[in-house]
A and B are shown apart, each in its own frame.
Chain A
Amino acid sequence: MLELKNISKTYGKGEVKAVDNISLEVKPGEIFGFLGPNGAGKTTTIKMIVGLLKPDSGKIFLDNIDVWENPLEAKSKISFVPDTPQVYDKLKGIEYLNFIADIYDIPKDIRQERIEKYLDIFQLKDAIGDIIGSYSHGMRQKLVLISALINDPKLFILDEPMVGLDPRSSFQLKEIMREKCNEGKIVFFSTHVLEVAEKLCDRIAIINKGKIIAAGTMDELRQHSKEKESLENIFLELTENE
């Protein structure tokens, strides 16, 4: 289980509260969507979970492991896909994947099986021997996705994963997210694409100005708002009122 307990983060000299006392729980087998307007605190929250930003206060646990107290143990269970797929552009695709597999200490046969499987799914096999610098944005995104899947993570965390992906890969990614969740893993992702969240997520949280203003299943969210039809309407209503 992923637990966020009262986490806060301020930037500057305490002037900008990016994340303000957030608490969340995500259970195994759940796809959790994290929504919010630009600058609402989505990426900041995600960065605190994956070890890129230390919270000013609060705790984050993954399966009862404090991710900031025992970072190595926690990180070996987490995979992260950032919003901009920045990777070593002088390495070849396959070299990068092998590097990641070495760090997670994935045995040879398993690594080969997983790499080949996801290369096929994302149709990246032809480019995998090329230098990453020659990849398009979408291809880099796919590479980072594959690298994040190599260790079969307990917690799969993605920041705006659909941006830059072609429709086919986007579809495949959604399938994979569903598959991971069926295996009892946790999928946590932020997005702007409300239809994706609506169709895919078991539960959703909407964050605005650093605070969670609504959380729950689609049905629960509908009960919170007057406009009960689409997530888009709920989102607009909630974020406007704030």
Chain B
Amino acid sequence: MSRILALVKVDIRNTFSLSTIKNKLKNRESIVHIVIVLIALISLLPTYYFLVSGLSNIFTVYLNVGQKSMFLLTGILLGQMIVLFFGILYVMSKYYFSSDLNILVPLPLRPKEIVGAKFVSLLIYEYLTLLPILLPFIIIYGIKSDVNILYWLYSTIIILFVPVIPLCISSIIVMFFMRYTNIRGKRDLLRTIGYIVLIIALITIQLKLQSIAERAVADEDFLYKLITDSTFLARRLGIVFPPSMWAALSLSDLSSMSGFLYLLLFVIVSILMFFIMLFLSDRVFFKGLIGNLEVSTSRRAARVRERDFQRSSPPYIALAMKEIKMLVRTPVYLMNSIGGVIIVPIVMILPFFMEDEESVNMLRSVLRDSQQIINLIGVAFITFLGIVNSVCSTTFSREGKNMWIQRTLPIKVKDQIVGRVLASIFVQVIGIIILYGSLAYLGALTLEGIFIIGVLGILGSIPTGEIGMIVDAYRPMLHWDNPQRAMKQNLNVLINMGLGSLYILGIGLLAYKLLDILDIFVIYIIIALIFILSSLVLYKVLKKVIETTFINLE
């Protein structure tokens, strides 16, 4: 255990760059930088406030039907599911693709010590993600239910343990996944396809369980039980993921012995899961890892043809191609970017797969009558995917240690921007195709839709991509030890989401207001013009930021 702690200490120092923070705080430029990032983060607050005040209303609804424990269940379940699903990529990147493995593996350490340490430092990172989600639920419930000190004590313990079980499950899934996909040759492709299938399967299972649980609730005694048992809904719907239910019930049954027992159960199972995960890691971790570190060189692939020497393209295309190749060939980048734009549109229509034929048909006929709205939502969706794919908002961060190449070559800023935006558009086109597929399944795809969503979607991806690039050029995260830190563990992605969502929301609101006044085609043209104009303005800003950053980086 002491070795794990020693490893954790080094890892955390490294992950959060603790050793350089002191120096940064002394430097005036760095302080200005930090302040600007804080301001950008504050831009997320309106959306956050909007969500939290919505939560408050949900609490009132549950309170009115006497099922306020459901409120806690919702929050904890949401938190645990986020850790479970996002954890899969975090774990994969941290356990299998981080550069410190080259140092750790040759050291006389047991697999469980390496995995244990990596687990704990990921856990600490998870708290940072979880707190903004969990705290509103815990605090709203606490304040509105007039609770005592025991509630706050229990909830502190629960918050500490909330990410443990889902992260253990992600770790176990990933370790076995990597163990059995560790096949020479097509390893990366297999793992990417496997990852997409895995996420969709996990979500399908969750949805299936949920619909079974919901059906089970609606029996004849429903109303009677709802009135007599204040934890009835939480108990029934909580079977989707029992640990969330235990945590919720321990807080709602606080005053009784059962509250304490649920807490105990939650904590003990969490600890137990941790040790099971460690036990398994000793057996499977290295089997998925070794071979992963080696890079295959097949003689057949090595053959270079005459025409390979004669490929030539303009600098921006060369840059775009380099970006795309790096994205496609680095599994973690591929899963985050292209994986994301494939998974999101499919997951959106998954609930309809669960429904029976009749209700799907009903939905289809409703959709057929609201084609224009679908087009507009489709455009907003694709534009939003342009933020989710995080290709632009991590484009400089991904350069990492290779940044010197970009800075010493005579590349025009214009080419930097166009090339990198093109790479994002490449990913977007895949997302658009998947969305077409999803819409076609719902019978809501028309020729007009294909055109409008395709053209406006791509036009809209340019300004949101540029916003991401401005953020990433302003504070590129170049020192990372595992590729996930350049992608979704990169604060720039979150800032881009905040700013980008505000941008989309603004245009969405405008389109909504115009719907009653103007013809839909005029609205399409207005949206296109806004996209083009904002692209040009953002281009100017981006150019300035890149020029300054490329000069001042050290």
CB closest chain-A residue, reference B26: A13
Q: When the two chains form their complex, are residues A72 and B314 in contact, meaning their CB atoms are under 8 A apart?
A: no
Q: Are A52 and B23 in contact (CB under 8 A)?
A: no
- Among the stretches B42-50, B407-415, B462-470, B499-507, the one at the interface with A is B407-415
1/0 per residue, CB under 8 A from B, across A97-133: the answer is 0111111111110011001100000000111111101
Answer yes or no: B13 CB below 8 A from chain A CBs: no
User: Is there contact, CB below 8 Å, between A54 and B301?
Assistant: no
A50 near B551 with CB under 8 A, answer no
Is the pair A98, B311 in contact by a Cβ cutoff of 8 Å?
yes
Contacts of A95 in B (CB 8 A): 322, 325
Contact A116 B408 (CB under 8 A): no
Whether the Cβ atoms of A53 and B554 lie closer than 8 Å is yes
What is the chain B residue whose CB lies nearest that of A148? B408
Q: Name which residue of chain A comes closest to B406, CB basis.
A: A103
- Does A228 belong to the interface (CB within 8 Å)? no
B552 interface contact, C-beta 8 A: yes
Give chain B nearest CB distance to A96 CB in angstroms: 8
Q: Are A90 and B404 in contact (CB under 8 A)?
A: no
Q: How far is the CA of A99 from the CA of B551 in the complex (A)?
A: 22
Q: Smallest Cβ distance from A194 to chain B, in angstroms? A: 27
The docked-state distance in angstroms from the alpha carbon of A5 to that of B296 is: 49
Contact with A along B98-132 (1 / 0, CB 8 A): 00000000000000000000000000000000000
Min CB distance, B551 to chain A, in Å? 6
B302 near A90 with CB under 8 A, answer: no
Q: Which residues of A contact B401 (CB under 8 A)?
A: 86
Residues of B407-428 contacting chain A, CB below 8 A: 407-412
Cβ contact of A112, chosen from B297, B309, B408, cutoff 8 A: B309
How far is A116 from B303 in the complex, measured between Cα atoms in Å? 14
What's the nearest-Cβ distance from chain B to residue A101, in Å? 7
Binds B, one of A20-28, A74-82, A163-171: A74-82
Report which of B308, B404, B411 forms a contact with A82, defined as CB distance below 8 A.
Answer: B404
Give CA–CA (A106, B329) in the complex, Å.
Answer: 27
Give bound CA distance, A115 to B309, whole Å. Answer: 8
Instruction: State whether A88 touches B408 (Cβ < 8 A).
Output: no
Q: Give min CB distance, B313 to chain A, whole Å.
A: 5
Per the 8 Å Cβ criterion, residues 62-78 of A in contact with B are: 68, 71-73, 75-76, 78
Tell me the dominant secondary structure on chain B's binding face. helix
Q: Which residues of A contact B319 (CB under 8 A)?
A: 99, 103
Contact A116 B309 (CB under 8 A): yes
B410 in contact with A76 (CB, 8 Å)? yes
- Is B295 at the interface (CB under 8 A from chain A)? yes
Q: Are B402 and A108 within 8 A (Cβ)?
A: no
Cα-based distance from A99 to B296 in the complex (angstroms):
23
A181 shortest CB reach to chain B, Å: 21
Partner of B315, one of A50, A102, A125, A129: A102
Residue-wise interface mask of B (60-102) relative to A, using a CB-CB cutoff of 8 A (1 in contact, 0 not): 0000000000000000000000000000000000000000000
B410 A91 Cβ-Cβ under 8 A: no
List of A residues within 8 angstroms of B302 by Cβ: 126-130
Given A88-B402, A112-B309, A134-B297, the answer on whether A99 and B410 have CB atoms closer than 8 Å is: no
With A52-B408, A80-B408, A86-B402 as contacts: A128 and B295 at CB distance below 8 Å: no
Q: Are A51 and B408 in contact (CB under 8 A)?
A: yes
* CB <8 Å contact, A86 and B326: no
Q: Is the beta-carbon distance between B309 and A88 smaller than 8 angstroms?
A: no
The chain A residue sitting closest to B400, CB to CB, is: A86
Contact A88-B322, Cβ < 8 Å, known A75-B409, A103-B411: yes
Which chain B residue lies CB-closest to A9?
B554
Are the C-beta atoms of B408 and A75 separated by less than 8 Å? yes
List the B side residues contacting A111 at CB < 8 Å. 309-310, 312
Contacts of A91 in B (CB 8 A): 322, 325-326, 329
Q: In the complex the two chains form, is B309's CB within 8 Å of A94's CB?
A: yes
Residues of A close to B309: CB separation below 8 A: 94, 98, 108, 111-112, 115-116
Which residues in A have some Cβ–Cβ distance to B below 8 Å? 12-13, 50-54, 68, 71-73, 75-76, 78, 80, 82, 86-91, 94-95, 98-108, 111-112, 115-116, 125-131, 133-134
In the complex, the 6 A-B pairs of residues with the closest C-beta atoms, listed nearest first: A102-B318, A75-B410, A134-B295, A90-B329, A129-B302, A76-B410
Show 7 A/B contacts (Cβ-Cβ < 8 Å), sorted by A: A13-B26, A88-B322, A94-B309, A98-B311, A106-B312, A128-B302, A134-B296
